[in-house]
Structures are given as structure tokens and as C-alpha cells.
Amino acid sequence: MSLTRKVAYNFSVQIAGKAINTIIGILNVAIITRYLGVAGYGDYTTTFAYIAFFSVISDFGFFWIIIKRITAGEGDEFVIKNSLSIRFIFAALVFLIALILLPFLPYTSILKWAIVLAAFSIFWSSQTSVYTALFQAKLKMDFAVISEVIARVISMGLIILAVKLNQGLLWVVGASLAGTLINFVISFIFSFRFVKPSFGINKSFAKQFLLEALPIGVVSILGLIYFKVDTVILSLYKSNIDVGIYGTPYKILEILMATPLMFVGSVFPALSTAFASSDHAKMKTLFQKSFDLLSIGAFGVMAVVIALAKPITNLIAGKEFLNASTVVLWNRPISADIVLQVLIFAVGISFFNSLLTNSVVIFGKQNRLLKPYFIATVFNLAANILLIPIYSYLAAAVTTVVTELIILIYCWLIVRKEAPVKIEYEKFFLTMLVGLITFGMLFVFKNFSLFFTIPLALAVYGFGLLASGVINKETFIKLAQK
């Protein structure tokens, strides 16, 4: 199979899996929000926001380095064996730190026990990501997709059971986490198609591996701080009702942000190989087409969600989240749907950030990412600490958008200077125009059923892209040249 078809197949499989997992994720949010209510969902959100910090620390940027090492031909079993061992050690240290800090936080007893339960996921998530990196490097993400879909279906079943039995927050958290353990087990079994997983550390490899991963690890940690610290600060300054109002649109944001990362993950091995072989023509084709496709995704998502935020929030979380509000701005209560309209700008920006930041890694300039991420994190922390006590979740949402914008500007400047390719913006601006037209149409029909407006939006957006020449036959046939 040619590289073109492998990349296309790898991404298509992930799109299908993402569609299924998105539906499951939305159903889970709908079930949990309606069962726990605004305050209870605030505790649920705080639990996973706290653990998310430590999960990213345990990853430390290893995922992309594993892919680079495998695609460079260092030996699959050698790389996986060392990676599994290093990641397990990191996970153990991070797990202990997470538990040591917990007693000092002003959380309720039930919330602390929920966090303890969630902390165990650090171990198997760290190991699962190694196998996912292996599947990504081999352009065989169908294994990862199958594993995740099975795990999510079982997890949803357990969540439904916990709700039916009225077992409360701890059982819902446990049911949510069960999927991550199942995902690890299935991924472990699938990995035997390529390697025989084992443990062992080569000192020379470990030293080089850690040094190479260090800048990405620091960037990942800084990125997570600005991505998750708002929820933690919100939980410390405000009530669980505030966290619950913020948690629902933020969960939608997380689901949508996974799409560009998935796409870039599919293209990453091909881009890395093209750069390593100094094939600038192939790299230019891959990069430009990736940029154009991400533009289509970004403006399409923003047009739909901004126009239809209220019915989307109502469908996913229920009317309680449309009526709940602790912030009033210009005599207007700020509910979850308005927060979603703000946060969706961060989603749109993230489509471009995912390509630009990972391109910097491919160019071997990951050290250059430290400055922008440090600046963005300092801004995010300062803004949230100063503004959340006054404007609560609205401040958190606006700060998230501005932080993503800071990262975008800096990374664009780095790529513009360091990349062996030049970005062309013609289709970017045409796509933006089509997105604005689609938004205008949706705004007129915003009070209609989503079962009418969503298909209408897809039709209008798709026709606009075709009529403007943004997409054509070549777009669907080729993502990269052989």
C-alpha cells in the first residue's frame, strides 16, 4: 500500500472511531449531567481536571518521541521495551505526588476519594499511550480505534448501571475509569502483532530519550497547566455549581479538540519521514493540504457551535444547564451555552496549533516552544487567579481563548522562520468566508430542530467549499504525493 493510501486509511479509521467515540462521549455527558446535576457534575469535572495534570506529567512528551524513534528505524522491540519501563517509573512517581498533595486541598471527603480512585488510571494510561504510539508509527491506528471503542462502550454500560442503581459519584467515576483499564488490556494484546512487550532500560537510550523528550515534556506540562488550571482554580475559589456550569461546555471543547490532534497524528509520521529525507516537495504538499483541511474543520465547527450553542447544550446536558448561572454580565445571565460560544474560539485556534506545534517538533526545534508556552502559562495563571474570583467561569473561558491565541501567534512565527515550506492562505480566507455564510444561515434557523439545522449546515458548508474551489477531486484523492 502506498504512503498516500496508508495515511488516508489511517486517518479514515480514526475519523470513524472518533465519530463513534464522540457519540459515546456525548451520551456519557448527557447521562452523568442529568444524574449528578450541576453541582455533582462540578465534582466529577474537578476529579478529572486534577488527575489530568498528573497524567500529562507522566507522559512527559514521550508519545511523539516514541513515534520518531520507531520511524527512524531504531528497532521496534527495543524502543517499546525501554519506553514502557520509563513510562511506568514516571507513572509511579506522579501517582505518589498526586496522593501526597491531595490532603492539603479544601475538597470534600467524597471528592477526595473520587480523586484517589481516578489516580490509579495514571498507571494503565501511561502504558496504553506507548502502544498507541506504536500503532501510530506503523500507520495501523485501526488497532487503537478498535480498542478504544470497545473500552468506551463497556464504560458507558457501567455508567448506566451505576446510575440505574443510584450509586453516586464514586461509582460513576469508577465506571468511567473502567474503560481506560480495558483499553490498556486490549492494546497490550494487539501490540503482539508488532512486538513482544517487555521491560528493561538501556542507560544510553534512556538518557538520549529523556533529553529529547525534555523540551516536549515541559511544553506538555505548561500546556496542561493553562488548559486545566482554570477548572482547579475555579474549584478552589467558587462553588461546585460554577465548576459544573463550566464543565459541560469544557467537555465539549475537549471532545472537539481531539479531532485535529488525531489528524495531525496521522500525518506526523509522513511529515517526519519527508523532513528526515530532505524531501521538501513532499513535505510542502503534506503540510499545505493538512493546513487547508484543518481550516475547513476549524471554521466549520465554529460556525455550527456558535450559532447553535443553546440547542446543543440543551441536547447534551439538559435545561438545568441553560437555566443555571452565577454570573451576570450586562444584565444577562451567563449560562453554559454562552460559555460554549466563547470556548469554541479556542477549539478553532487549536486546529492550527496542533499542526504548528508538532511541525516544530519535526523540525527538531522543540526547544523553541518553551518560551511561548511559558509566556502563555504565566498569562493564564495570572489572569485566572485575578479574574475568576470576580467573573468566575466566564473569566476562565475568555482566558482559555486568549491563551490559545498567544500560542498560535508564537508558533506561527517559529514555523514561518524555521520551516522549509511556505504556507499559502488563499483557501484559508475562502474557507473563513464560507464559514461566515454558513453561520449566517444557521442564525436564521437557530430555533429549528438540530436534526434539521445540522444537515442543512453540512450541505451549505459543503456546497460553499465546492463552489469556491476550496475542495475538489484532488482533495479527496491525494493528501500526499508518493
Question: For 263-276, what is the mean pLDDT?
Answer: 73
Residue 482 lies in a domain: no
Residue 458 lies in a domain: yes
Q: Give yes or no for residue 300 having a pLDDT over 90.
A: yes
Res 214 pLDDT > 60 = yes
Alpha-carbon gap, residue 186 to 317, rounded angstroms:
31
In a domain, 260, yes or no: yes
The whole domain housing 11 covers 3-477
Q: 46-86: per-residue pLDDT in tens?
A: 888 888 777 777 777 677 678 877 877 777 788 888 888 88
- Portion of the chain with pLDDT greater than 90, in percent: 25
Distance of CA 203 to the CA centre of its chain: 32
User: Does pTM surpass 0.85?
Assistant: no
- In the chain, the amino acid numbered 76 is D
User: Where does the pLDDT of residue 303 fall: very low under 50, low under 70, confident under 90, or very high at 90 and above?
Assistant: very high
Residue 471 lies in a domain: yes
Q: Please, is 290 exposed, middle or buried when counting C-beta atoms within 10 Å of its C-beta (0-12, 13-18, 19+)?
A: buried
Q: Any idea how long the chain is?
A: 482
Q: Which residues contact 221 (CB under 8 A, 6 or more apart)?
A: 56, 57, 60
**pLDDT > 50? residue 480:** no
Of 122 and 39, the one with more pLDDT: 39
The half-sphere exposure of 191 on its side-chain side, counting CA atoms within 13 A, is: 24
Give the mean model confidence (pLDDT) for residues 126-133. 83
345 closest CA partner among 389, 393, 271, 403: 403
Write down the pLDDT at residue 8.
Answer: 63
Q: Who's near 414: CB < 8 A, 6+ residues apart?
A: 356, 360, 365, 368, 369, 372
Write down the residue that cell numbers 521491560 correspond to. 199
Looking at the 3D structure of the chain, how many domains does it have? 1
Mean pLDDT for the stretch of residues 387-403: 94
